[in-house]
Amino acid sequence: MADTEQGSFLPRGPVGVWRALIWSLKGLRAAWRLESSFRLEVYVFVLLAPAALHWGASPLEKAWLVGSLLLVLSAELLNSAIEALIERYGAEYHELAGRAKDMGSAAVFVLMLNVVLSFGLLLGPRLLG
C-alpha cells in the first residue's frame, strides 16, 4: 500500500513491516484459494525445488534453479492481479483487456520456458550423461 504522507521517505517501522507482511500473506492466500494455475505452479515448485537443491552443483546453480521457479510464481501472481482488475470493470469483451490478459499469460509462459531451459541445460547433462 502507498505511503499516506506524500514525499515521506521515513522507514515504515516494525508495525508497517508487519502490516505489509499480512497483506502479502492475504494475497498468497487469495491466489491459492481462487487461482488453479497458481496452485498447479506451487505443486511444480514443491516437486522441482528439492531436486534443484539436491542436484545443483554449486550454491549459485541452486539459487538459479530455485529462483527460476519463484519467478514463475511471481509472474502468476501479477497475471492474476491483472485479470482481477480487468474483471472488476466488467466481463464484456474489450480488445485492450484481452490483450492485457494475453500478455500476462505470455509472461508466465516465457518464465516457464526459462525453467525448462535452466533445468535442462544445468541438470540435463549431469543426469542423462
Catalytic residues: 76
Percent of residues in the chain assigned helix, strand, coil, to nearest 5: 80, 0, 20
52: number of Cβ within 10 Å: 23
Quick one: cell of 93? 469483451
Quick one: cell of 90? 466488467
